[in-house]
């Protein structure tokens, strides 16, 4: 009897630690249920609030007064799509350095500088209109890439820990952004400190009206494909992966570990810069001085959710954006604040990152070794 | 007169460095045991938050004088719990230590803002509540020697906050622990050569737990100082990167107690410098953002310095082939 | 009640690892008090596993361990230590920043209420060292000691914990012949005082010189045991290998080729014990230069220093750390030296078909036992892993190969294969530097031999017809050839003289 119990428990344990996909979905489910429990502690109508959380982002098809079918809440869903693009790019920005075993936390600063660089080109480009957008995008890629590369060089040449350096560069980059907007790029007609609106040549026409969802939507799957190809099928990707998996071996085998480290962070930075470009040119149309930092960390969350696999980033980003919009809807429609979505996400990550689940008899950690 | 200014500056640096020092001592403890703790930021945050919230919701019948101590206990308990979660995730569930640390930082950030909104009704801070601070220690009878009075009792003669005084004391205790106790020797052995420690019968896993929990406790003290000393409230993102500065101090200090303490003081000084410079007369001409860039730039320079010196001052030997 | 005359008895002890490997199979062993017992067998015969089980680092999957007549089961070294068992490991495990005294007393420091008593520790260690004739300075830092001194500290550690059953894992591997002799004298003293000693070794000489009784392991099983007074070297060798040993085949001499690697005045300082102190050496095409010496005299440093160069391939000493990426597949490991050129990649794009084919060819040619190119390389045995390491080193068509401990920890079949490949490479005209702690391997394969001591070359010998005893004096630093170097035209030391 005891043996069968042990056997069943082992099966359950094995189920909880199976191939990644199944486990992440299970973890997401458990996380959401834990969210329900947490909501129940603070709300008078937990179930209703929880359901809004889950479904709030969904657009609805309703029959209007004129008898025709209309999409409702499309703008909110548009926000979900915009966020998905941002989070995909930012998640990839964290993922590439991570595969080289670098914990780069600089996506925020790279995003800000990329947005700034893109806006400068968009506002100041005197030449043919059709070149404005591609050049702005390239400027954003370069700005983010240089910042990321700087972190990499400091790590490679001087051994400076990349976690702290990238966080410090974040602060510096964000101050540069604020300085540039308040001093040199300020729109005198705007009611709050911000750049002027970007000219139409440097803007995207939205596919969903009143949202920022447009051609840049394609950037997300294309970026995922590009990164997957980079890591899996190119020599640089090979160098990055081997440097991350076994650094001593890579060095001894003559792989250019330093170069791979720097390039991994530069490429990540470039993608974060592109996210900044997306925000400036597609989503907001102008850059406010008080653009909130923190999006980079949400990209980090997405990368952790996706267990650093490019294929899973898109799904993880969408899941995150969905929950965030749902959280906002929940906050408006009930008495629960929207940060619960963040808590759920963090819980899911905690569940996902464990490799195995110990059983009660092993929890007696006080025994020797 | 200038001596007074110097003393005031030193006191300001000490105050700014205190939270970083506590967290850095915690980081050093876990690093010496072989486990790097990148969750210092989150640990500080939960301790700062829980201390204040506990003070807002004390148990019935608690005498007001004990309120700050109740907050202290609650904050430390919260930090210990988070540190325990980190330890279990890594040591029992096999999660990567750094990934787990980062994830717990994110969890702490989200959880504190969420609970702040729910329990205090305000997403920004607990400013509308009057929350206590831990007491300051005041040395009486120094009125006749103004410089000494300034040194020991600070500006306004109110004395120094308990935790500010506690910082150097805890550093001393840490040194004694690591150099002169058996547990400290076991901890260092577990970090330097876990196989040797295991073969010698040392309970290596228990040492790792102790180190991680201890680092949580120390980081918690740093966090509590922020919300119950430096200020008497909790704000969202109150720690503002101090936990990572503490981590930087551990790297810069190269696993030595003196180095870590020095680095913590340096980072505290950088912060004070930035604010003071920003307040000077010439600041009118320079944009404030420039001063805000100063502390992070100093941090980067300090982190890169040892490597720069190694690269430029030591020449590797030549070989003919 | 009479205490059982047997201090230790193993009854049918076996160990099967979770991945299916059967390391030990039905082992029976008897040790009496005050006996020195040699457990002898080749690499991979299962000796280390047995020791781990006796010390609580592993648990037997079958059979019983009986100590003084009572069955015991150790879950951890702490329990084994409490039962009076001490382990002197093959690779020293000391804490580098601790002193000798603190290392010896590690885990059982003299302390009051947790407060360390440094003075008492130093005194106790000094006393122990005097009593057993093992010289050691209690205050010296472990990082500054030579390997032989470090091993003495390990023995003191076991003695300090009150061990009366000592397990020594390949103690002679890091000692010069003289130091080994001193060690064995000390062991004899200990045994006469009532200590029981289990000596793990692969050297037949250890059995004949110091042990009272012996047990031979082969492929995880006991194949012979008895009193060493009745044993003979050929008989033991036959038991170890399982068949009469063919005499070693010396490689046919090759015509002199061009010097492919020339080193002059190589110096390295690492801040700890090992250093390189002005090395001159040449290696010519079609020859094997063997670097002999007691481990820790700079050979590893030399190998790593030589390997930085175009056209020079390295088989590194630490296979798991430097030689392979354990979590990656065999293919990903195999292409590490050739991935950035055609046919494995074009313009920065990897060609999966070419990679797969090349890896399969490698697996076939080297006889690697593996499930396929995509299997994680960490799942392979040591010997198979080393084959991939060598195959990868050779894939780049190197003109110079530096092989550092190429057959360490490798089973006998794979070792033989690897040596044959080295000879084949030599026949193709490559220059090979062979660094090995296995003197037999050096003697078997080298055209020229250079002996290293304290970071310098102290003797230069012809490989043909060389004899271990001749080299021994140079390895310990007792003899030194003036102006010794391994230049292609350097004179050979006066060899063949019997040590005084």
C185 and C288 assigned to the same domain:
no
Contact B51, B194 (CB under 8 A): no
pLDDT at B283: 57
pLDDT at A190: 80
Q: Let me know if residue B202 belongs to a domain.
A: yes
The whole-angstrom separation of Cα C44 and Cα C217 is: 10
Instruction: Please give the mean pLDDT across all residues of chain A.
Output: 86
Tens digits of per-residue pLDDT, C127-140? 888 887 777 888 88
Q: Of A294 and A147, which is predicted with more confidence?
A: A147
Q: What is the torsion angle, in degrees rounded to the nearest 10, for the CA atoms of residue C71, residue C75, residue C76 and residue C79?
A: -40
Query: Does the pLDDT value for residue B163 go beyond 60?
Result: yes
A27 touches chain B (CB under 8 A): no
Alpha carbons A230 and C8: distance in angstroms, whole number: 59
Residue B23: predicted pLDDT: 97
Residues of A in contact with C76 (CB under 8 A): 368-369
For residue A273, pLDDT beyond 90: yes
How confident is the model at residue C249, as a pLDDT? Answer: 65
What digits encode the pLDDT tens for the residues B28-45? 999 999 999 999 999 999
Instruction: Assess whether C150 and C204 both reside in one domain.
Output: yes
Neighbours of chain C (3+ CB pairs under 8 A): A, B
Q: Examine the pLDDT at C312 and tell me if it is beyond 60.
A: yes
C216 contacts C228 by C-beta, under 8 angstroms: no
Task: Round to whole Å and give the CA distance between C411 and C380.
Answer: 13
Can you tell me the distance from the alpha carbon of C342 to that of C357, in angstroms, rounded to the nearest whole number? 13
B185 has pLDDT over 70: yes
Tell me which residues of chain C have a C-beta less than 8 Å from any C-beta of chain B: 55, 57, 76-78, 81, 87, 89, 93-98, 102-103, 106-109, 111, 114-116, 157, 161, 261-269, 305-306, 309
Residue C378 tokens read as 């960490």
| Residue A42, both tokens | 């603070």
What pLDDT is attached to residue A117? 95
Indicate the range of A218-222, A279-283, B149-153 predicted with least confidence.
B149-153
In a domain, C482, yes or no: no
**C-beta of residue C215 within 8 angstroms of C-beta of residue C50:** no
Please check whether residue B71 is in contact with residue B132, taking contact to mean a CB–CB distance below 8 angstroms. yes
Output the pLDDT for position C4.
Answer: 58
Same domain for C29 and C87, yes or no, is: yes
Select the highest-mean-pLDDT range: A259-273, C249-263, C295-309, C336-350: A259-273
B23 contact C CB<8A: no
Q: In 3-state terms, what secondary structure has residue C192? A: helix
Number of domains chain B is built from: 1
Report the chain B residue with the minimal C-alpha distance to residue A356. Answer: B93
What are the domain boundaries of chain A? 20-43+307-355, 85-293
Instruction: For residue C425, give the CATH number of its domain.
Output: 3.40.50.300
Residue A9 has pLDDT above 80, yes or no: no
Q: What is the pLDDT of residue B25?
A: 97
Which residue shows structure tokens 């020095």? B262
Q: Shortest CB distance from B110 goes to which of A103, A182, A346?
A: A346
- pLDDT-derived band at A2 (thresholds 50, 70, 90) equals low
Q: Is C457 within the bounds of a domain? A: yes
Q: Do the domain assignments include residue C251? A: no
C111·B181 Cβ contact <8 A: yes
pLDDT tens across B225-284, in order?
A: 999 988 888 988 889 889 999 999 998 888 899 999 999 999 999 888 888 877 775 656
Pair C323, C461 in one domain? yes
Answer whether residue C495 shows pLDDT above 60. Answer: no
Q: What is the mean pLDDT of residues C387-404?
A: 90
B276 located within any domain: no
Q: Helices (DSSP H) in C242-381: which residue ranges?
A: 299-306, 330-334, 352-365
The segment with the largest mean pLDDT, out of A270-274, B312-316, C176-180, C293-297, is A270-274
pLDDT at B317: 46
The answer as to whether C119 is a domain residue is no
pLDDT in tens, A299-349: 998 998 888 889 889 999 999 999 888 888 888 888 788 888 888 888 888
Q: What sign for the dihedral angle of Cα A171, A176, A181, A182?
A: positive
Whole-number pLDDT of residue A15:
45
* Residue A368 pLDDT > 90: no
- The percentage of residues in chain A with a pLDDT greater than 70, rounded to a whole number, is 91
Chain B residues inside the 8 Å CB shell of A158: 303-308, 310-311
Lowest mean pLDDT among A365-369, B314-318, C409-413: A365-369
- The answer to whether the CB atoms of C95 and B196 lie below 8 A apart is yes
Q: What is the per-residue pLDDT across B195-226, written as a single tens digit (0 to 9) for each?
A: 899 988 899 999 999 999 999 999 999 999 99
pLDDT range class, residue B318, cuts 50, 70, 90: very low
Contact A235 C350 (CB under 8 A): yes
State whether A242 and C350 contact (CB < 8 Å).
Answer: no
Residue A16: predicted pLDDT: 44
Per-residue model confidence (pLDDT) at position C1:
43
Q: Of A208, A204, A165, A193, nearest to A74 (Cα)?
A: A208
Which residue of chain B has the CA closest to A308? B99
Residues 188-217 of B with CB under 8 A from A: 198, 201-206, 209
Residue C42, domain extent: 6-94+145-241
Burial status of residue C53 (CB atoms within 10 A of its CB: 0-12, 13-18, 19 or more): buried
**Domain assignment of residue B83, given as a range:** 2-239
Higher-pLDDT residue of A18, A275: A275
Reading the block at residue A269, the tokens are: 């930075």
Whether residues C185 and C273 share a domain: the answer is: no
Residue B320 is predicted with a pLDDT of 33
Tell me if C262 and B183 make a contact (CB, 8 A cut-off). no
pTM: 0.83
The pair of structure tokens assigned to B199 is 């073969």
Whether residue C498 is predicted with pLDDT greater than 50 in this model: the reply is: no
Q: Is C59 in the same domain as C165?
A: yes
- Judge if ipTM > 0.90: no
CA distance B71 to B54: 5
Question: What's the confidence (pLDDT) of residue C497?
Answer: 42
**Average pLDDT value for residue range A119-133:** 87
How many domains would you assign to chain C?
2
Q: What is the pLDDT of residues C433-475, one digit of tens each?
A: 999 877 788 888 999 999 988 888 888 988 887 777 777 777 7
In a domain? residue C139: no
For A369, the closest of C76, C327, C352 (CB atoms) is C76
Is the CB of residue C376 less than 8 Å from the CB of residue C332? no
pLDDT at B156 > cutoff 60: yes
Q: Residue C256 pLDDT > 80, yes or no? A: no
Mutation site, A241, A250, A252, interface C, largest C CB count within 10 A: A252
- What does the pLDDT read at residue A365? 47
Residue the block writes with tokens 């102290």: C458
DSSP 3-state assignment of C189? helix
Q: Return all residues near C474 (Cβ < 8 A) that are at least 6 apart.
A: C451, C453, C458, C459, C480, C481, C493
Residues 6+ apart with CB under 8 A from A190: A196, A286
Residue C44, pLDDT score: 64
Closest by Cα among C43, C47, C44, C7 to C27: C47
**Does C311 reside within a domain?**
yes
pLDDT > 90 in chain A, percent: 42
C495 falls within a domain: no
């Amino acid at each position: 009897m005891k043996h069968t119990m042990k056997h069943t428990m082992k099966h359950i344990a094995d189920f909880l630690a199976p191939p990644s996909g199944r486990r992440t979905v299970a973890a997401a489910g458990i996380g959401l249920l834990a969210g329900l429990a947490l909501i129940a502690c603070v709300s008078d109508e937990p179930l209703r609030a929880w359901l809004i959380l889950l479904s709030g982002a969904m657009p609805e098809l309703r029959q209007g007064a004129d008898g025709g079918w209309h999409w409702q809440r499309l703008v909110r869903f548009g926000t979900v799509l915009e966020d998905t693009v941002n989070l995909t790019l930012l998640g990839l920005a964290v993922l590439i350095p991570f595969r080289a075993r670098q914990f780069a936390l600089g996506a925020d600063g790279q995003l800000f500088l990329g947005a700034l660089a893109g806006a400068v080109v968009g506002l100041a480009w005197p030449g043919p209109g059709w070149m404005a957008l591609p050049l702005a995008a390239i400027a954003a890629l370069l700005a983010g890439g240089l910042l990321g590369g700087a972190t990499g060089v400091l790590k490679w040449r001087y051994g400076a820990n990349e976690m702290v350096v990238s966080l410090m560069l974040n602060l510096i980059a964000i101050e540069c952004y604020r300085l540039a907007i308040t001093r040199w790029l300020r729109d005198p007609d705007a009611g709050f400190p911000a750049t002027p609106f970007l000219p139409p040549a440097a803007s995207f026409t939205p596919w969903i009206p009143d949202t920022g969802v447009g051609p840049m939507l394609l950037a997300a799957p294309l970026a995922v494909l590009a990164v997957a190809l980079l890591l899996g099928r190119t020599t640089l990707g090979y160098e990055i992966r081997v440097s991350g998996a076994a650094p001593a071996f890579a060095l001894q085998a003559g792989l250019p570990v330093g170069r791979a480290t720097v390039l991994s962070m530069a490429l990540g930075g470039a993608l974060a810069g592109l996210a900044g470009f997306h925000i400036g040119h597609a989503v907001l149309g102008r850059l406010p001085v008080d653009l909130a930092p923190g999006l980079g960390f949400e990209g980090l969350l997405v990368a952790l959710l996706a267990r650093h696999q490019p294929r899973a980033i898109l799904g993880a980003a969408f899941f995150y954006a969905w929950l965030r919009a749902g959280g906002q809807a929940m906050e408006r429609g009930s008495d629960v604040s929207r940060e619960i979505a963040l808590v759920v996400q963090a819980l899911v990550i905690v569940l996902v990152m464990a490799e195995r689940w110990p059983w009660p008899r092993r929890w007696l950690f006080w025994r020797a070794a | 007169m200038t001596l007074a200014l110097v003393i005031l500056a030193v006191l300001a640096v000490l105050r700014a460095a205190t939270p970083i020092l506590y967290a850095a001592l915690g980081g050093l403890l876990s690093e010496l045991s072989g486990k790097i703790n990148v969750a210092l930021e989150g640990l500080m945050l939960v301790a700062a938050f829980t201390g204040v919230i506990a003070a807002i919701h004390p148990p019935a019948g608690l005498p007001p004088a004990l309120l700050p101590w109740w907050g202290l206990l609650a904050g430390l308990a919260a930090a210990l719990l988070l540190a325990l979660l980190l330890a279990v995730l890594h040591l029992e569930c096999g999660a990567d230590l750094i990934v787990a640390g980062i994830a717990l930082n994110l969890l702490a950030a989200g959880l504190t803002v969420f609970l702040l909104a729910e329990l205090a009704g305000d997403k920004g801070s607990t400013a509308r509540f009057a929350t206590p601070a831990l007491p300051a220690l005041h040395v009486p009878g120094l009125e006749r020697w103004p410089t000494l009075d300034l040194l020991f009792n600070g500006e306004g003669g109110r004395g120094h906050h308990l935790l500010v005084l506690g910082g150097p004391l805890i550093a001393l205790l840490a040194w004694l622990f690591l150099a002169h106790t058996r547990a400290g020797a076991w901890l260092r052995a577990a970090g330097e050569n876990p196989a040797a420690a295991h073969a010698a019968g040392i309970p290596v896993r228990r040492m790792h737990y102790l180190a991680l929990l201890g680092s949580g406790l120390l980081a918690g003290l740093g966090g509590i100082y922020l919300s119950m000393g430096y200020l008497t409230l909790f704000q969202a993102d109150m720690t503002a990167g101090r936990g990572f500065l503490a981590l930087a101090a551990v790297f810069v200090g190269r696993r030595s107690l003196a180095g870590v303490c020095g680095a913590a003081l340096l980072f505290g000084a950088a912060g004070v410098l930035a604010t003071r410079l920003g307040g000077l007369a010439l600041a009118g001409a320079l944009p404030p953002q420039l001063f805000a860039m100063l502390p992070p730039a100093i941090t980067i320079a300090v982190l890169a310095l040892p490597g720069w010196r190694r690269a430029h001052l030591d020449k590797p030997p030549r070989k003919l082939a | 009640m009479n205490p059982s005359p047997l201090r230790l008895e193993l009854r049918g002890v076996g160990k099967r690892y979770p991945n299916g490997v059967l390391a030990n199979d039905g082992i029976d062993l008897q040790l009496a008090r005050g006996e020195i017992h040699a457990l002898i067998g080749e690499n991979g015969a299962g000796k280390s596993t047995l020791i781990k089980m006796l010390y609580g680092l592993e648990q037997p999957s079958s059979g019983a361990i009986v100590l003084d007549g009572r069955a015991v089961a150790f879950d951890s070294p702490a329990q084994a230590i409490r039962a009076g068992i001490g382990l002197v490991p093959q690779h020293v495990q000391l804490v580098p920043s601790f002193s000798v005294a603190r290392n010896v007393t590690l885990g059982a420091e003299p302390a009051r209420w947790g407060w360390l008593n440094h003075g008492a520790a130093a005194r106790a260690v000094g006393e122990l060292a005097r009593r057993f004739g093992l010289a050691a300075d209690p205050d010296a830092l472990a990082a500054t000691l030579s390997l032989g001194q470090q091993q003495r500290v390990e023995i003191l550690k076991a003695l300090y914990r009150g061990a009366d059953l000592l397990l020594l894992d390949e103690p002679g591997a890091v000692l010069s012949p003289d130091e080994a002799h001193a060690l064995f004298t000390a062991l004899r003293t200990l045994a006469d005082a009532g200590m029981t000693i289990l000596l793990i070794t692969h050297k037949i000489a250890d059995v004949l010189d110091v042990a009272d009784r012996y047990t031979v392991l082969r492929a995880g099983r006991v194949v012979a045991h008895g009193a060493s007074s009745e044993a003979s070297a050929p008989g033991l060798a036959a038991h170890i290998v399982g068949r009469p040993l063919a005499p070693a085949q010396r490689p046919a001499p090759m015509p002199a080729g061009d010097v492919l690697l020339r080193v002059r005045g190589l110096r390295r300082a690492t801040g700890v014990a090992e250093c390189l102190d002005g090395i001159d050496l040449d290696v010519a095409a079609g020859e094997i230069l063997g670097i002999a010496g007691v481990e820790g005299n700079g050979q590893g440093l030399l190998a790593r220093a030589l390997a930085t160069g175009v056209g020079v391939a390295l088989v590194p000493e630490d296979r798991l750390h430097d030689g392979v990426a354990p979590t990656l597949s065999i293919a990903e490991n195999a292409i590490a030296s050739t991935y950035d050129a055609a046919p494995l990649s074009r313009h920065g794009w990897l060609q999966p078909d070419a990679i797969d084919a090349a890896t399969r060819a490698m697996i076939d040619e080297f006889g690697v036992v593996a499930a396929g190119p995509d299997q994680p390389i960490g799942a392979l045995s040591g010997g198979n892993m080393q084959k991939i390491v060598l195959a990868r080193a050779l894939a780049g068509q190197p003109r110079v190969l530096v092989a550092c401990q190429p057959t360490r920890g490798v089973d006998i079949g794979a070792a033989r294969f690897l040596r044959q490949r080295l000879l084949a490479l030599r026949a193709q005209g490559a220059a090979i530097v062979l660094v090995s702690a296995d003197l037999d391997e050096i003697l078997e394969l080298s055209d020229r031999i250079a002996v290293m001591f304290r970071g310098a070359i102290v003797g230069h010998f012809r490989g043909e017809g060389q004899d271990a005893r001749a080299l021994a004096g140079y390895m310990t630093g007792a003899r030194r050839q003036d102006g010794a170097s391994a230049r292609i035209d350097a004179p050979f030391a006066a060899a063949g003289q019997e040590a005084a």
